[in-house]
Amino acid sequence: MGQLESLLSMALDELTQYSTDARKIEKLRRKICLSVPMAQQREVKEALLTQMPSGEVNKIIEEQRQTVALPFWGIAGLGLLLGISLNQPIGLLAAIGGTFAAIKVQKLGWQMQAKRLLLQTLEDIEVRSNQPK
């Protein structure tokens, strides 16, 4: 579904902007209304609802991705320090593994946050379209 990927890309672009969630939704709403018909918006919303991960761990990763990744960055730094200073190859492996885990956690959280922003925007569009003028 190419439409979902393009909308997620737009949501990721909005996440890079420093503004409130309401402003991000407003800017994203304008872009979606101009580029995607209402029928496709409903299809994208249904596909997005099926892709949204559930569970407490995923919720924590979505809301606090940097906090969750921080211990992995610590493991990577400590592994690098011990690997270099004590000449321990296991420390270098810990550095590589910690870096990989930290990046994966942050990327997962970033993508879940973009999906949540897109879902909120689609719901906002639906609410506004159902209101009488």
Residues 52-82: pLDDT tens digits?
A: 888 899 899 989 999 999 999 999 999 999 8
pTM recorded for the entire structure: 0.84
Residues of the chain with pLDDT > 70: what percent?
98
Residues 108-117: pLDDT tens digits?
A: 999 999 999 9
Query: How much is the pLDDT for 117?
Result: 93
Q: Which residues of 71-92 are buried (b: 16+ CB within 10 A; e: fewer)?
A: ebbebbeebbebbeeeeeeebe
Question: Looking at the predicted structure, is the pLDDT value of residue 133 above 80?
Answer: no
